[in-house]
Amino acid sequence: MNPFIPILAARSAWNRRLTLGMMVLSVALSVVLLVGIERLRTDARTSFAEAVSGTDLIVGARANPVELLLYAVFRIGAATNNMGWPSYLALADDPAVAWTVPLSLGDSHRGFAVLGTTSAYFDHFRHGDRTPLKIAQGKRFEQLFDTVIGADVATASGYRLGDRITLSHGAGDTVLAEHGDKPFTVVGILARTGTPVDRTVHVSLEAIEAIHLNWQGGAPVPGLSIPAEFARKFNLTPKSITAALVGLHNRSDVFAAQRRINAARAEPLVAVMPGVALDNLWQMVGTAERTMTGISALVAAVSFIGLVAVVLAGLGERRRELAVLRSVGAAPRDVFTLLAFEGLLITLSGVVLGLALLTAAASLLGEFVLTRYGVVLRVRLPDGAELSMLLAIIATGLAASLVPGYRAYRMALADGLAPRL
């Protein structure tokens, strides 16, 4: 290749920077869509997979396994029913069960889920690669109205140890009333995990019962008020819980334990293996993922068709430029190479700009997406799948630039120098 071709291509592109800049932006947006959807899909799956580990079964009242997983672990949706406390005790006494963690959901605090549980939660809950929970500040809850909050709760609300907070009855858009007569004291703040734990307010099971002592049928009893200092005098053993995390002595017994729990006669229950439920979830959303990828590919195709159209349209204006190059000794192949190199330059610039936009979006929107949807957007270099996409985009851009390059190759010298009538 003529060593002057890259210099000529760069200067020619600069002279038409406004038009070609729009093409670069078009290619960049195609990269954002294609690679962005792939990253979002990967990050979403990673975030969901890392939300809970080391748990063999999730047990709750009979329901769709995916719905139970989403509500018990990811705080998405609502429980259709609760499992009775006697059923939980029977589950904990099963010889195959090594440990259990009860979960009671349904209340909230400023949009964050409130989880009632026991100290076993801090002992056995694992996330990521079986990483235990760590308390960054303070300690576990010990007193009735103590609470341990997640990292996002502390950051979003500016809470510190010793602050007092009140919980609300209901979650999401169905918050009914506030339990203002029974405030909680923040005694611990968990280290960030990148999971729904960060967006959860943790209290004891007894505390969940205590704040509902003067409630009946989902509403406060008129005229009945039980001060916080008297709540401890009541029996605060829960009547039911939302679900339970279960760890077995031997993981090879998981199928037998699952069948035994599902066949329980005392109460209709369902035992869910987290990994299997997640696979079912990805199968459900797989069609949507493929559809979004297909739409992104179509957008990229339209961008490169536009690239071909713009360069072809510009050939009419560049007839004299190309003819002058031919007249000073440039061979037809040099003109062909010039046009191909320009197309490659536009594509590479679009890829770089697209990756920069993705990085900026992940940095600026990461906190919002994590808080709102529980997905950790990671700022990283392209991985294998993304590199394949980028190479495909570059190859497509180069192939698209060959069309106007061939057209310029066929143009005769006299065609550019002869005046048009």
Residue 242: the pLDDT is 94
CA distance 122 to 182: 24
Q: How confident is the model at residue 416, as a pLDDT?
A: 47
Phi, psi angle pair for 247, to nearest 5°: -115, 135
Are 160 and 139 in contact, with CB atoms under 8 Å apart?
no
Dist CA 360 CA 353 (whole Å): 10
Residue recorded with tokens 């406390």: 85
CA triple 278-283-284, angle to 5 deg: 95
Kindly list the domain boundaries of the chain, sorted by start residue: 5-48+285-417, 57-272
In contact, 136 and 186? CB cutoff 8 Å:
no
pLDDT along the chain (421 residues), means of 10: 64 73 84 84 78 90 90 83 93 94 92 93 89 94 95 92 90 67 94 89 95 73 76 89 95 92 90 88 77 77 73 61 62 72 83 91 80 72 84 82 67 50 45
pLDDT at 216: 67
Q: Is the distance from CB of 322 to CB of 408 less than 8 angstroms?
A: yes
Tokens of 230: 């008297």
Q: Are strands 243-248 and 57-61 parallel, antiparallel or unpaired?
A: antiparallel
Distance CA(139)–CA(387), nearest Å, equals 45
| Rounded alpha-carbon distances, angstroms, from residue 372 to 29, 305, 307 | 24, 37, 38
**CA pair distance 167, 109, nearest whole angstrom:** 5
Q: Half-sphere exposure of residue 142, counting CA atoms within 13 Å on the CB side?
A: 5
- Amino acid 303: pLDDT: 73
